[in-house]
Structures are given as structure tokens and as C-alpha cells.
């Protein structure tokens, strides 16, 4: 049973791999597309963030579409969009076509960012759910590492190197599409569509025969006599605090600065005197660190809980960013210390805020409101990501690296204090038990 759940989760997490690849691959192309399209720093920020505008569209569409068609079918559509985006952006000769293709990929990323963790959460037994949902984050960081590595391998392929970097994404997109034929639909979606017999068969495969009947009764009870969910219900007194927690967690995950590194690492290294080849090689070290510490988080998240990981990780991120800021103020950016502090920051993020936020957001909301609640939380995440992505090149140019990274360090401190005071622990309980707990709590 555990092997089957892992297999299903791995297939669903391929959406996360494409999410990671598509968001990170742009970092290796920046120093080539900027002169090719003649972009200044402001235009570069908008071009890089074009994918993120598509993400918001994808997030907005994913919740309703997955409620109507099912999680599985909408993930298949996302796989097709990833493929068309890879081919379109790689073949673009005009900036507008490049931006449109990246936005199409962004729609796919937005869909995957909601449906991959949601699908895994809805199929996972409670005691493994944190680790299994974290598979999605692991897939994201593997996608990032693959993007960094392929960028480095392709940098020497001539003036069209950036096109090959973008085209690579077509391969995992095809793999995701055909792999989705092998997995079942979410049992909670099936129950919501009165397809209880099908749901029971899935639950028996994921939880075992006896627990499956009990879990089916729980799901039926939470959905019994309930009308189709509306977005307005998220603002009811019992649900509104959960929505605010989901939004604030999602925003903090981005404004603590993670994508300043993932999107602009080669630019940061180039600004402190590194060549393109060396800058891209150093991003591989960042990607490898990301993968290793995400694996560490997966082994700890169901043992120590989501909240403890985020508290320790946020503190570590703050210290690493303060160190990076100090290097800029002291003009010591020419050595290896910049890479050391960046890797330390990535390690802290990957072991905490990276996977844990996706797990909590997938757990917070009641069954019937989960897709809609996650849609709003994840849309907030992408809005925050857009803000950081557009403003970072300008901040680095106008405020200096010292002030820029100090601002992000203070945001990490604010995140730590918020988590400590307001965010509940969710480990070790079924989604239905959490639903009852939140209904009876005062958060």
C-alpha cells in the first residue's frame, strides 16, 4: 500500500518538477536574452516575471476546473501547456512571442502549484501525508537542479544556447502527460461527485481495506448535505482565520527572497565579477543544496512537525541574509563567501519554509473548500513572487546589495514571529480530523 501511494505521489509530483524547471530555467538565459532582446533592468524584470502573470491565471482557473473535471484531467492539460510553452519560447524571435510562450508555461505552473500538492494530500494516509506532500517540493527542487545543470551543459552551444535551455522542458512535459494515465482520481473528488464505489477502491489501495471504509465514512460525513462551495464561504468567521494564515504563509515564503536567488543567481554572481560559465556552475551547487535539504525536511516533517521546521529555518535564513548583506557593506564580495552565505540561505529555506508551507496550505482548508482556499493562497504566493521578481534587479542596482539583502533578512524575522504566534501544528491527523479541530478552535 505504501509503495502504491509513493508511486502515485511521484507521478503527481512530476507536475512539481516541471514547476521547478520552468521557473528556474530562465536564470541561465538572462545574460543572453537581455542583449538579444535589448532589455534594460526594468524590462528584464518584467520579462522574467511574465511567467508569473501566467501563474496567477493558472491558479485562478485550477480550483474551479479541478472541481468540475477532476484533479487528474486538469494536470494532463497542464502537461500539454508545459510542452507548448517549451517549444514556443525556444523558437521565439520577437519579445512579444517569447513573453506569450512564457505566460502559457506560467498557466501550467499555476495549475501544477495547486493540484500536485492537493492531489497528493487527498490520497495520502495521515501519518505519511507530510512526507508525501513534501515529495512535490522535492520534485520542484529537482526540477530547479535539472534546469541549472542543463543550462550549464548547454551554455557552450553557440548563440542559440538559450533556446536549447528552454526547449529541454518539453521532455518531462511529455513524461508527465503519459504517466498520468497510470494513476487514479482523487477519492475525495470522487465522493464529491457521488462516485463512492470508485473512491472506496482507491482508498483500499492507499490505506488498506479496514481503514478505507472508516475513511470513506469520514469523507462522506464532511461532504454530506453540503452545497457546491462558494468563494464567499472562505470569509465566514470560522474559515476566515485559516484563509489569512494560508495567504500570509504563502506571501512570506516568497518575500523572504527565495526567488531572488533562483531567478537571478547568475546575475548576482556576474555582478561580483564571475564569468557566465562559472556563475552557471555555481548555480548547480545551489540546486544540489536545495535537493539535499529538501530530502532532510521530508525525513523530519512528520516527526517534528511543520511549525518547528519553519521556526528554525526562518531564523537560519535571517542569519544568512544578514551575513550576505554584511559582505556587500564591507566590500568583500569578490571571494567565495558570497556563495557560502547563499548556499546557507538555500539550505535553511529548503529544510523548512520550502516544503512546509505547501504542506500546511494543503491541510488548512475543509474538504469542500480546499481547492478554492488553496487557489487564493497560491495566487497570493505568485503575486508576491511577481513583486519580488520585478523589483529585485532595480533594488540591486539602486539600493545596493547590502541594503537589499538586509531588507529580506528583516522580512525573515517577521515571518518567524508570525509563525511562532499564529500558525497551528497540523501533523499526524487526517484532513477530516483537522477540519473538526479548526471548526472548534479560536484561531
Per domain, the residue ranges of the chain are 2-183+225-439
Of the segments 314-323, 335-344, 382-391, which one has the largest average pLDDT value? 314-323
User: For residues 147 and 280, is the Cβ–Cβ distance under 8 A?
Assistant: no
Residue 304 and residue 287: Cα distance in Å, rounded?
Answer: 25
- Fold classification of 2-183+225-439 is Growth Hormone; Chain: A; (1.20.1250)
Give the CA count within 13 Å in the CB-facing half-sphere of 2. 5
Which candidate, 10, 358, 371, places its Cα nearest to that of 180?
10
Residue 183 and residue 160: Cα distance in Å, rounded?
Answer: 38
Residue 106 and residue 22: Cα distance in Å, rounded?
Answer: 8
Kindly report, residue by residue over 181-194, the tens digit of the pLDDT: 988 888 888 888 88
Q: How many CB atoms lie within 10 A of CB 42?
A: 13
The pTM of this model reads 0.74
What pLDDT, on the 0 to 100 scale, is given for residue 314?
93
Mean of pLDDT values over 16-22 = 86
pLDDT level of residue 251 (50, 70, 90 thresholds): very high
What pLDDT, on the 0 to 100 scale, is given for residue 438?
62
Residue 196 and residue 89: Cα distance in Å, rounded?
Answer: 43
Q: Which of 35-49, 79-93, 260-274 has the lowest mean pLDDT?
A: 260-274
Residue 394 and residue 401: Cα distance in Å, rounded?
Answer: 11
Considering the chain, what percentage of its residues have pLDDT values greater than 70? 92
CA angle 77, 44, 337 (to 5 degrees): 100
Q: How far is CA 176 from CA 73, 77, 179, 182, 183, in A?
A: 12, 10, 5, 10, 11
From the number of C-beta atoms within 10 Å of its C-beta (0-12, 13-18, 19+), residue 4 rates as middle
pLDDT level of residue 100 (50, 70, 90 thresholds): very high
Residue 442 and residue 241: Cα distance in Å, rounded?
Answer: 9
Mean of pLDDT values over 377-390 = 85
What pLDDT, on the 0 to 100 scale, is given for residue 409?
94
Q: How far is CA 396 from CA 42, 224, 325, 386, 393, in A?
A: 12, 54, 11, 16, 5
pLDDT level of residue 428 (50, 70, 90 thresholds): low
pLDDT level of residue 227 (50, 70, 90 thresholds): low
What pLDDT, on the 0 to 100 scale, is given for residue 120?
84
Residue with cell 525573515: 412
Supply the mean pLDDT for the chain: 84
pLDDT level of residue 307 (50, 70, 90 thresholds): confident
The more confidently predicted of residues 372 and 103 is: 103
Amino acid at each position: 500500500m505504501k509503495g502504491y501511494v509513493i508511486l502515485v505521489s511521484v507521478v503527481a509530483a512530476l507536475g512539481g518538477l516541471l514547476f521547478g524547471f520552468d521557473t528556474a530555467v530562465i536564470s541561465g538565459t538572462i545574460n543572453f536574452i537581455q542583449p538579444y532582446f535589448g532589455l534594460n533592468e526594468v524590462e528584464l524584470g518584467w520579462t522574467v516575471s511574465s511567467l508569473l502573470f501566467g501563474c496567477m491565471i493558472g491558479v485562478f482557473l485550477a480550483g474551479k476546473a479541478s472541481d468540475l473535471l477532476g484533479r487528474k484531467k486538469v494536470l494532463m492539460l497542464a502537461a500539454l501547456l508545459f510542452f507548448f510553452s517549451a517549444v514556443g519560447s525556444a523558437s521565439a524571435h520577437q519579445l512579444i512571442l517569447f513573453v506569450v510562450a512564457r505566460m502559457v508555461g506560467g498557466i501550467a505552473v499555476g495549475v501544477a502549484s495547486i493540484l500536485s500538492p492537493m492531489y497528493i494530500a487527498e490520497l495520502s494516509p495521515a501519518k505519511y501525508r507530510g512526507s508525501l506532500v513534501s515529495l512535490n517540493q522535492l520534485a520542484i527542487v529537482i526540477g530547479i537542479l535539472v534546469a541549472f545543470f542543463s543550462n550549464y551543459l548547454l551554455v557552450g552551444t553557440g548563440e542559440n544556447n538559450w533556446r536549447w535551455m528552454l526547449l529541454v522542458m518539453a521532455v518531462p512535459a511529455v513524461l508527465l502527460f503519459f504517466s498520468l494515465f497510470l494513476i487514479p482520481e482523487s477519492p475525495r473528488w470522487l465522493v464529491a461527485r457521488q462516485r463512492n464505489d470508485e473512491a472506496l477502491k482507491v482508498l483500499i489501495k492507499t490505506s488498506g481495506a479496514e481503514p478505507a471504509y472508516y475513511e470513506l465514512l469520514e469523507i462522506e460525513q464532511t461532504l454530506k448535505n453540503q452545497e457546491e462551495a462558494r468563494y464567499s464561504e472562505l470569509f465566514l468567521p470560522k474559515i476566515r482565520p485559516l484563509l489569512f494564515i494560508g495567504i500570509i504563509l504563502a506571501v512570506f515564503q516568497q518575500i523572504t527572497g527565495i526567488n531572488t536567488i533562483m531567478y537571478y543567481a547568475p546575475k548576482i554572481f556576474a555582478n561580483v565579477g564571475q564569468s557566465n560559465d562559472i556563475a552557471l556552475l555555481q548555480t548547480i551547487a545551489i540546486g544540489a543544496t536545495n535537493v539535499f535539504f529538501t530530502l532532510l525536511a521530508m525525513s523530519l516533517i512528520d516527526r517534528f512537525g511543520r511549525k518547528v521546521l519553519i521556526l528554525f529555518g526562518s531564523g537560519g535564513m535571517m542569519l544568512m541574509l544578514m551575513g550576505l548583506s554584511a559582505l556587500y557593506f564591507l566590500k568583500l564580495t569578490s571571494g567565495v563567501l558570497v556563495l557560502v552565505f547563499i548556499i546557507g540561505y538555500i539550505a535553511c529555506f529548503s529544510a523548512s519554509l520550502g516544503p512546509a508551507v505547501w504542506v500546511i496550505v494543503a491541510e488548512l482548508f475543509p474538504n469542500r473548500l480546499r481547492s478554492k482556499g488553496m487557489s487564493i493562497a497560491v495566487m497570493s504566493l505568485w503575486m508576491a513572487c511577481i513583486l519580488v521578481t520585478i523589483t529585485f534587479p532595480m533594488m540591486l542596482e539602486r539600493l545596493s546589495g547590502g541594503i537589499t539583502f538586509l531588507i529580506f533578512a528583516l522580512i525573515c524575522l517577521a515571518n518567524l514571529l508570525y509563525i511562532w504566534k499564529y500558525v497551528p501544528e497540523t501533523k499526524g491527523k487526517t484532513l477530516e480530523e483537522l477540519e473538526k479541530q479548526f471548526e472548534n478552535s479560536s484561531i
